[in-house]
Amino acid sequence: MKKTASNPETGDWAEHDVAYSDGVAIEAPTHTRVLVSGIISGEPGLEAQTRDVLDNIADIVAEFGGSMKDVVRVRVYIKEPYMNEEALETVHDVRHEFFVREHYPASTLVEVNALVDETSVIEIDADAIIPDTEWETEAI
């Protein structure tokens, strides 16, 4: 098996040495699995940050030949006190721009006390499986 790190220099912004990549891809005989680190944004507002974060996730998955239809799981962290019904609606409205029903990922959403950057309201990480053939989808 082959493992490829996406942008292992990603932590160069930090004032100390960090040990992570934007994403890691593991190539298996029938697919590539991509694990995307938590992504934050400096854009103003929840809607813009959510869109920017999902754009970045799409770019990382695309580096390995995939698309958002290959994202099978996301974990969403929203900073308090922003978590409310309006925030949930905003996040899901933006997610509809990136995901189609037959490829909706499994999802976890958690309210957190803080994120690493005080201006960030949302952080999302993702797992993608990029098959060597096309997806067969089914809803049950």
Does residue 115 carry a pLDDT above 90?
yes
The reported pLDDT for the residue numbered 6 is: 84
- Tens digit of each residue's pLDDT (9 = 90 or more) over 30-89: 999 999 999 999 999 999 999 999 999 999 999 999 999 999 999 999 999 989 999 999
Residue 70 has a CB neighbour count (10 Å cut-off) of: 23
Residue 54, SS3 per DSSP: helix
Per-residue confidence (pLDDT) for residue 135, from 0 to 100: 95
Single pTM value for the model: 0.92
Q: Are strands 23-27 and 2-6 parallel, antiparallel or unpaired?
A: antiparallel
Task: Please give the DSSP secondary-structure letter assigned to residue 93.
Answer: H
Nearest in space to 94 (alpha carbons), one of 129, 128, 124: 124
- What CATH architecture applies to the domain 2-131? 2-Layer Sandwich (3.30)
Instruction: Indicate if the pLDDT at residue 91 is higher than 80.
Output: yes
Domain residue limits, the chain: 2-131
Pairing of strands 31-39, 71-79: unpaired
State how far the Cα of 132 lies from the Cα of 128, in Å rounded to an integer: 13
